[in-house]
């Protein structure tokens, strides 16, 4: 594309370091994380950012640059860390392994996740996201997306921009699959501003194709208390009425068995017709792995996107594969933690997910926990 005009605002030039660079003020927040099966990293509930802006008016058509691969092209909007694995660091690599072209947008960019003693970084605003969307659209680059994945979004302005983006993407591709991980909190505690619950319920959830809340988030979105499998299925039915045809509750503590304290339940429901011998409602019960993990909810949502793309009318089977992949990664991570501890190493850095070492688990998982149909 030709540049017909260029405007650069407050960009400092650093000679010998690759040309113009945009400098930003580092930011931070505070949060903690406790994780078993799918669980997201807690992020700061509020922060401010100051960012220099570079813009250009472009002419030309870049749509041919955005042609989908044989699997699809995914836009994923969630957090990013330079070191470690949460948010997009848990999503991009697995999706690429499964054949997706992946374009990440970073809702936050931190040095490391907030389970460490300190961190530095920035939080994206709704205005900055809108600027990126406009740049993509002006170059014809919004065409070709088959999937959208969203995770942690920390502000009302950005979440509403996401809603506008979903509608815009569907003007280019009415069949766009939107996998929404509504990151609100866990274990009875919010770690985003409370107003985001209403925005999710009224503006985001109706747009989702597949919704992947944990137990606490499902309760917030439905106003229901989930204490049993029947409650969970009723919550799924309520969410179906709002919009998403498919719902997977990724982390439930239920009273269906005496061993519930040592297991976690994933429960799914879809209103869409399913292939033969695949029910519309199902459960998968997995053992708790006694260790500390972060980013597992982010990884779970990405794996559900990948496997449902391969099995579009077999949600239960796709969830079975996603859970098997996730458990394989967690087992490999726990084994690496044990080796590190035996060598006298400790610290949260030893507990980062071993994604790069888990290619076989991500692509060819061994199913140890089978799906149970509830119909």
User: What amino acid positions are annotated as catalytic residues?
Assistant: 298
DSSP SS3 for 132: helix
C-alpha 63/C-alpha 167 separation (Å) is 19
Task: Label the pairing between strands 53-59 and 2-9.
Answer: antiparallel
Give the Cα separation of 87 and 73 in Å (integer).
18
Q: Nearest-CA neighbor of 59 among 138, 6, 175? A: 138
- 213, 1, 28, 21: which is closest to 111 by C-alpha? 28
What is d(CA 159, CA 150) in angstroms, rounded to the nearest whole number? 10
Task: Give the three-class secondary structure for 203.
Answer: helix
Q: Which of 329, 257, 248 is closest to 283 using CA atoms?
A: 248
The neighbour count for residue 113, using CB atoms within 10 Å, is 24
Name residue, tokens 């199913």.
367
Burial of 249 (0-12, 13-18, 19+ CB in 10 A): buried
């Amino acid at each position: 594309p030709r540049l017909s005009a260029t405007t650069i605002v407050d960009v400092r030039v650093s000679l010998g370091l690759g040309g113009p660079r945009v400098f930003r003020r580092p930011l931070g927040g505070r949060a903690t994380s406790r994780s078993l099966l799918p669980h997201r990293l807690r992020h700061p509930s509020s922060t401010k950012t100051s960012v220099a802006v570079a813009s250009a008016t472009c002419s030309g058509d870049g749509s041919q640059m955005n042609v989908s691969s044989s699997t699809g092209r995914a836009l994923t909007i969630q957090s990013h860390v330079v070191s470690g694995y949460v948010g997009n660091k848990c999503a991009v690599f697995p999706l690429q392994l499964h054949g997706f072209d992946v374009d990440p947008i970073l809702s936050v960019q931190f040095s490391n996740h907030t389970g460490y003693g300190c961190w530095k970084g920035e939080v994206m605003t709704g205005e900055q996201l809108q600027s990126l969307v406009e740049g993509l659209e002006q170059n014809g680059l919004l065409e070709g997306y088959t999937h959208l994945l969203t995770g942690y979004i920390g502000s009302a302005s950005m979440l509403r921009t996401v809603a506008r983006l979903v509608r815009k993407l569907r003007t280019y591709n009415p069949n766009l699959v939107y996998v929404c991980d509504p990151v609100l909190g866990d274990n009875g505690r919010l770690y985003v501003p409370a107003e985001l619950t209403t925005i999710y319920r009224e503006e985001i959830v109706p747009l989702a194709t597949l919704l992947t809340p944990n137990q606490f988030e499902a309760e917030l979105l439905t106003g229901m208390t989930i204490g049993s499998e029947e409650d969970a299925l009723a919550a799924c039915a309520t969410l179906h009425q709002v919009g998403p045809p498919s719902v997977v509750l990724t982390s439930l503590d239920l009273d269906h068995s005496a061993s519930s304290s040592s297991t976690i339940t994933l429960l799914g429901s879809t209103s869409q017709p399913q292939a033969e011998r695949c029910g519309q409602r199902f459960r998968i019960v997995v053992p708790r792995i006694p260790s500390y993990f972060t980013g597992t909810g982010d990884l779970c949502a990405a794996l559900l996107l990948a496997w449902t793309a391969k099995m579009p009318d077999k949600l239960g089977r796709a969830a079975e594969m996603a859970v098997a992949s996730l458990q394989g990664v967690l087992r490999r991570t726990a084994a690496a933690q044990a080796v590190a501890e035996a060598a006298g190493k400790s610290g949260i850095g030893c507990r980062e997910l071993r994604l790069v070492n888990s290619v076989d688990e991500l692509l060819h998982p061994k199913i140890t926990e089978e799906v149970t149909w509830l119909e």
